[in-house]
Copies of this chain bind each other. A is one copy, B any other.
Amino acid sequence: MKKISSMNRDELLSLKAELQAQYDGFVKAGTKLDISRGKPGNDQLVLSKALLSLPGDASTFVDGVESANYGVLEGLPSARKMFAELLGTKPEQVFIGGSASLALMFDTISKAFTHGLLHSEKPWSQLDKVKFICVVPGYDRHFAICESFGIEMIPVPLLNDGPDMIMINELIKDEAVRGMWCVPKYSNPDGLSYSDKVVKQLAAMKPAAKDFLLMWDNAYCIHEFEGEFVPFLDIISECEKHGNADMVFEFASTSKITYPGAGISCFACSEANMAYMKKIISKQIISYDKLNQLRHLLFFKNHDGIMAHMKKLGNVLKPKFDIVLNSLKEEVEPHEIAKWHTPKGGYFVSLYAMNGTAKRISDLCKSAGLNITPAGATYPYNNDPDDSHLRIAPSFPPLEELSEAMRLLCCCIKLAAVEKMLG
């Protein structure tokens, strides 16, 4: 087989006809597939089924607290301990929220605007301009929060060992740069993890803004699907070493451990930030759902219980990532028109198609009934300067559907490349 990248015009035209026929077949078949979101599949949900009957007859009185009544704003002590063990931080640095860490992130930024952060001179709503560093490609929902609050986003590329620190150290000299989004482990969507060196550099930043906010979304902290658990540095104590203890808020949840949108979430931060935030949050809520905290504690039993559960989830995810990566390897790799990462954890495969074809690929997919994250969504303002990046989320569809989705996607990747080369 000749590769697309070295075909002449006639060969391209002939391949185009062939691919177009294949594509039309998908359209005709009325395909309806979805690889758009990092949404766990039913084969993952079923692994948490025991949680659905909890706490059952177990006592709701735990840690000296009645979990079925009001009280204990920061969450059950055992739940704080559980997340502290996951994140490598201290229980007193952990605040347990509701079912969504996204809500805790939105709320943190919202409070920065309405009340200001611990070291803010005034609430951000009273500033002329607020800018955030956004590592790209990144998580579209982070960027959507920024847009919603009118925060100007500055893209900084993710290199192989973490975000480009040279650019960042330059950008943070601007006092208007107030914060930064990071997904440090199995980053969304590249699946890369920041090296210890880069984590330490981030912790040592000296931003001009005294209330700089490092948003550390550790969504995939224990989400290996291949190989053993990979340890990571505790960002809070790293920041502390450099006098930056109050710079960082870390986030995590069980959304991709038990039930998406029905799990428990947390933020972790310095004790000073905790005291400051609790004062504001105490006006917002009396206490978050402690019964759901209890459910999770009873379900996992202990840290080993969580890690064993993650192994089971990983075993479900691995074959799905294999399908994606094998399809790309077989169908696309020989043509030298795209590249991608090979993650060992997280929820995504980042695909870099031929420059100038990502939008076309995502349109082709959509028209044929395959829902894929829209091209550009992983960049602020939907602006992928190369129009190259696509995010593949393999978790939701059953294996057969995923194979079908990848056949269609690979067809579209090639078709768009051929069209592009034909000009």
Q: Which A residues contact B (CB, under 8 angstroms)?
A: 37, 39-40, 42, 45, 52-57, 60, 66-71, 98-100, 102-103, 106-107, 110, 113-115, 123, 125-126, 141, 144-145, 147-149, 255, 259-262, 280, 283-292
Given pairs A70-B255, A70-B260, A114-B149, 13 additional interface contacts (CB within 8 A): A37-B70, A68-B260, A71-B261, A98-B98, A102-B285, A110-B114, A125-B125, A141-B283, A148-B280, A260-B286, A261-B288, A262-B289, A289-B289
How many angstroms from the CA of A54 to the CA of B126 in the assembled complex?
47
Whether A70 pairs with B280 at a CB distance below 8 angstroms is no
- Kindly list the 8 A-B residue pairs having the minimum CB-CB distance in the complex, ordered from nearest: A125-B125, A262-B291, A106-B284, A99-B289, A148-B283, A70-B260, A261-B287, A103-B285
How many angstroms from the CA of A289 to the CA of B263 in the assembled complex?
8
Partner of A100, one of B71, B99, B285: B285
Tell me whether A262 and B67 are in contact in the complex, defined as CB-CB below 8 angstroms, given that A125-B123, A289-B99 are known contacts: yes
Tell me whether A114 and B115 are in contact in the complex, defined as CB-CB below 8 angstroms, given that A45-B69, A52-B291, A123-B125 are known contacts: no
Whether B148 pairs with A261 at a CB distance below 8 angstroms is no
Partner of A262, one of B52, B68, B260: B68
Residues from chain B with a CB closer than 8 A to the CB of A39 are 69-70
> In the assembled complex, how far is the CB of residue A282 from the closest CB belonging to chain B, in whole angstroms?
8
Residues from chain B with a CB closer than 8 A to the CB of A56 are 52-53
> In the assembled complex, how far is the CB of residue A284 from the closest CB belonging to chain B, in whole angstroms?
4
Whether A285 pairs with B53 at a CB distance below 8 angstroms is no
**Count of identical protomers in the assembly:** 2
How many angstroms from the CA of A261 to the CA of B145 in the assembled complex?
27
Residues from chain B with a CB closer than 8 A to the CB of A285 are 100, 102-103, 106, 261
Residues from chain B with a CB closer than 8 A to the CB of A292 are 262, 289, 292
CB nearest to A144 among chain B residues = B283
Whether A284 pairs with B103 at a CB distance below 8 angstroms is yes
Query: 14 pairs across A/B with beta carbons < 8 Å?
Result: A39-B70, A40-B69, A42-B66, A52-B291, A53-B54, A53-B57, A69-B259, A69-B261, A125-B126, A141-B283, A145-B283, A148-B283, A260-B286, A289-B292
Whether B291 pairs with A107 at a CB distance below 8 angstroms is no
How many angstroms from the CA of A38 to the CA of B7 in the assembled complex?
76
How many angstroms from the CA of A147 to the CA of B115 in the assembled complex?
11
Tell me whether A99 and B98 are in contact in the complex, defined as CB-CB below 8 angstroms, given that A110-B110, A148-B283, A283-B148 are known contacts: yes
How many angstroms from the CA of A264 to the CA of B95 in the assembled complex?
21
Partner of A260, one of B69, B98, B145, B260: B69
Partner of A99, one of B37, B107, B259, B288: B288
How many angstroms from the CA of A110 to the CA of B259 in the assembled complex?
28
Partner of A290, one of B40, B113, B255, B261: B261
Residues from chain B with a CB closer than 8 A to the CB of A100 are 285-286, 288
Candidate in A67, A259, A284, A292 with the most chain B CB atoms within 10 angstroms: A284
How many angstroms from the CA of A291 to the CA of B289 in the assembled complex?
12
Residues from chain B with a CB closer than 8 A to the CB of A259 are 68-69, 291
